[in-house]
A and B are shown apart, each in its own frame.
Chain A
Amino acid sequence: MTDYQVRVAGARVAASDGWRLEIVDARLGIGRLVNGLASLPVLVEGDGSEWVVTLRGRRIPVTVRSWRERILADAESTAGAQVGPIAVKATLPGLIVAVAVSAGEEVTEGAPLLTIEAMKMQNEVLSPRAGRVIDVTVEAGQVVATGAPLLRLE
């Protein structure tokens, strides 16, 4: 059997002794965790190394990596240390209602960059770090999807 390493919120976690997963509906990911006479409904979604387990209503991201995947992931994270320009992306879909910055402007970490209205609520997108705005790729009135690039920071 492959030797997998499991991480929850970045920390290595060992599986719970005595608990096993019974799959109820593989297509939807519905199952239950069973331990002797105790059981707990659970939802398991994902594939490969990335999984999300819903337990008592909470979605818990879990990475399950093989030895090979661990080496690849380590290599990627070393190479990917953020130095160059970074793209700020939409974390939720919605309507851009206001853009607070323009190209060339210096911003501090945590400064409001723009406002996205989703589900009738206004959400401020804050700057992930200090830097100069290279360009803004969206404008007010535009609808964006999750992951859409909003602007670039130097």
Chain B
Amino acid sequence: MRTDRTPPPFERVLVANRGEIAIRVIRACRELLISPIAVHSDADAGALHVRLADASQRIGPPPATESYLSIDAIIQAALRSGAQAIHPGYGFLSENADFARAVESAGLVFIGPPAETLESLGNKLAARRAAKEAGVPIVPGTTVALGGDWNDLGALGFPLMLKAAAGGGGRGMRRVDTPDEVGVALDAARREALSAFGDGTIYVERLLAPARHVEVQLLGDRHGGLAVLGERDCSVQRRHQKLVEESPSPGVETATRDALFASARRVAGTVDFHNAATVEFLVDADQRHYFLEMNTRLQVEHGVTEMVTGLDLVAWQIRVAAGEPLSRSVLDATGRGHAIEVRLYAEDPYDDFRPTAGRVTAWQMPAGPGIRVDAGIEANTELRPEYDPLLAKLLVHAEDRAGAIDRLRRALDETLIGGLQTDAGFLRWLVDDEAFISGRYDTRLIADRWSGDHDLADGDAALAATAALAARHARTSNPGGPADLGDDGSAWGRLGRREALRG
């Protein structure tokens, strides 16, 4: 073991999350010689993240509101386990100011920004005003809550986007193309925002299209140090949620990149934070950029930046939370090569990306040079409808973008997931799509190019027929042999029946 290293920032850290991100944080803890403590709901008692930690605390029944979102249960778990700090991951309580405050008042360290920062950035409308005051361009629209009188919206020009002030993850968002649609869409957005965030405040932005969604990764310490760690392009989206992220962005010019970094620094200057953070922008066809929002937490897609910079963002989150200043090598970090992340979701891309569910059977992930898989599940995992449908993130890194795409194609060809439909078929299509390969794509890529028509190619139908026919023959002609797939509970037997029932 190294003797020249600084002592671990904490002895024990509670990881207040589940799935792949809990595992990601647990791994960072291990490398920092910190003892990681997991938490679990009753549904996750035997989950992978629980087994990878040193110990795990039960925090409640399966519904997230009674477990992973229960501030009290998590604080109690941290105190019981003797942890000095809590890492919230992303989602759940990661941007909850009340939680950050409760952690601090329990005498523990919140691995994240101060509660006041979460409060001011959590309100997207307030963040919009702050960015504007800091001289950063914002998407044209309102800077006050939309009231009952929305007749003058026409001046902004349609189409418009209605957005929830407390929003995130694409919820509470509605596109409006004509004035007549405003009423119905506003009601729907309000209802969704109220149920998801407990706040129905809505504001309006003009819909910018074509546009790319580009975000800048920041890392700040408690001593005023701020590192700008490049950008990520997140333009491949469905339902305003990201599916693919890459760095550097193939769609921003050098001058635009510099302007994005400068704007990101300016937005970061409006709040006090010591953590990983992301400032999100839209970049239009004329390379003009507009501030969307700032998140002071770890992003799902942080790994893309880790691959191009070689830094461990999660380890740095923990280190700066303990008071360590960012090192020179972090402050001066630059990118090398190109990284792409694709998200493997339990969703059916042939049915409008509707969530699927069930038990994952076969689970074969790619490996080899330049490949990273952050997975929260393993073979035989039963997916729970209560939680996020993200199965794994597949990341590739190569010398340049073309090399990264070739590597991603190879990686997807090595990937086999059984038991349920995932978006892997869409991702495999994407790596051969002309627009994606050229790098000249925008947020409309899925809507425009992944059409609603998903007729099976004749060749693929024939190949599927070949495989199924051969499998049936193998079973019939070789009873008792290795290819006897019998009715004794083997994966083939069980799945066939389930799938048939589902019809």
Contacts and interface: CB of A to CB of B under 8 A. Distances in A.
A87 B161 CA distance: 38
B80 interface: no
Nearest to B347: A119
A119 B353 CA distance: 12
Contacts of A29: 361-362, 418, 471, 485, 491-492, 495
B491 A62 contact: no
B357 A15 contact: no
A59 interface: yes
Nearest to B486: A47
A77 to B, nearest CB: 12
Contact of A52 (B195, B461, B499): B499
A148 interface: no
Contact of B357 (A31, A44, A58, A93): A93
20 contacts: A4-B469, A15-B465, A26-B484, A27-B490, A28-B362, A28-B379, A28-B491, A30-B416, A42-B463, A43-B417, A46-B492, A47-B492, A51-B468, A53-B468, A56-B428, A56-B460, A57-B423, A58-B424, A120-B387, A123-B355
Contacts of B142: none
A26 B428 contact: no
B470 interface: yes
Given A20-B466, A42-B467, A47 B487 contact: yes
A14 B466 CA distance: 8
A16 B466 contact: yes
B120 interface: no
A73 to B, nearest CB: 12
A53 B485 contact: no
Nearest to A123: B354
Interface in A36-57: 40-57
Contacts of B389: 119-120
Interface string B449-465: 00000001001111111
Contacts of B106: none
Given A28-B361, A41-B416, A146-B357, A55 B496 contact: no
A36 to B, nearest CB: 14
Contacts of B465: 6, 8, 13-16, 62
A2 interface: yes
Contacts of B464: 8, 13, 53, 55, 60, 62
A47 B466 contact: no
Interface in B418-456: 418-428, 456
Nearest to B413: A41
A92 B475 contact: no
Contacts of B98: none
A102 B316 CA distance: 55
Interface of B: 169, 192, 195, 346, 350, 354-358, 361-362, 364, 379, 385, 387-389, 412-428, 456, 459-477, 482-485, 487, 490-493, 495-497, 499-502
B463 A40 contact: yes
Contacts of B462: 13-16
Nearest to B364: A30
Given A47-B485, A47-B492, A51-B468, A92 B356 contact: yes
B232 to A, nearest CB: 23
B466 A21 contact: yes
Contact of A45 (B192, B424, B495): B495
A50 B500 contact: yes
Contacts of B469: 4, 6, 15, 64
Chain B contact residues: over half helix, strand or loop, or mixed?
helix
Contacts of A42: 463, 467
Interface in A80-139: 91-95, 97, 118-123
A92 B412 contact: no
Contacts of B379: 28
A26 B426 contact: no
A94 B364 CA distance: 27
A26 B470 CA distance: 12
B131 to A, nearest CB: 28
Contacts of B485: 26, 29, 47
A104 B281 CA distance: 51
Contact of B463 (A4, A55, A119, A122): A55
Contacts of A57: 412, 415, 417, 422-428
Given A14-B465, A54-B416, A58-B425, A47 B362 contact: no
A118 to B, nearest CB: 4
Given A9-B456, A57-B422, 7 more contacts: A6-B465, A15-B470, A29-B495, A41-B414, A43-B362, A57-B425, A64-B469
Contact of B467 (A44, A94, A146): A44
Contact of A119 (B362, B385, B501): B385
A1 interface: yes
A53 B422 CA distance: 13
B484 to A, nearest CB: 8
B418 A119 contact: no
A97 B483 CA distance: 45
A118 B357 contact: yes
A147 B482 CA distance: 33
Contact of A47 (B418, B467, B477, B493): B493
**Residue among A11, A19, A53 having the largest count of chain B Cβ atoms under 10 Å:** A53
Contacts of A58: 350, 421, 424-425, 456, 460
Contacts of B426: 57
